[in-house]
Amino acid sequence: MNIAVLASGRGTNFAAILRAVKKGKIPANISLLVCDNSKASVIGKAKRAGVGVFLIKRDDFASKGDFENRIIQRLEEAKIDLIVLAGFMRILSRGFVQKFNLKIVNIHPALLPSFKGTQGVKDAFDYGVKIAGVTVHFVDSEMDHGPIILQAAVKIDEQDSQESLEKKIHKIEHKLYPQAIRLFCEGRLEVGDRRVRIK
């Protein structure tokens, strides 16, 4: 099974997934990194691991449709079975998502449906909740909305700052995301009525 990771930044989740693949915990290969940011440190991580890198800049295309069509073409060339979003800072179009229905997963640093959007940790911390968390879900045409695969709670202690909470959440992300990807690759996820059943 071939995995493509779409990322725009540091690549900490990319690195966690790669470690799980190398240890045999995920029965698949990371065949491709798609990145839209030439300065992202995830590129160096991929190159050092021998993962193919496809750098593509939105500004090089006249429209979002053209940009996405080029990504789709590259994914099809690489015979990708699963698309993993790992800090890819672009919202995918409805057409892109529908083309790869139930083959795109995302990780969000909050317990969805609470605290959607790009500031999940900050929003949860500012709100004063006692429990934060992490969600891995399939991607659909709405932001942070698709069927939930796995969730894990993170307790917020009184002495926590936003920064310390972020560290806790990242630690959980790096465990939970590889687990969810393994379940997908093993064919153990069954989706019906927005619910994901683990076989």
Radius of gyration of the chain (CA): 16
Residue 174 half-sphere exposure toward CB, CA atoms < 13 A: 14
Amino acid at site 58: R
Task: For residue 135, give both structure tokens.
Answer: 């969600």
Catalytic entry in 108, 137, 145, 170: 108
Residue with tokens 């929003």: 123
The token pair that represents 79 in the structure block: 């015979």
Which residue is associated with the tokens 């990780």? 107
The β-bridge relationship of strands 104-108 and 131-138 is: antiparallel
Whole-angstrom Cα distance, residue 159 to residue 186? 40
Q: What are phi and psi of 182, to 5 degrees?
A: -60, -45
User: Is 174 noted as a catalytic residue in this protein?
Assistant: no
Write out the catalytic residue numbers. Answer: 108
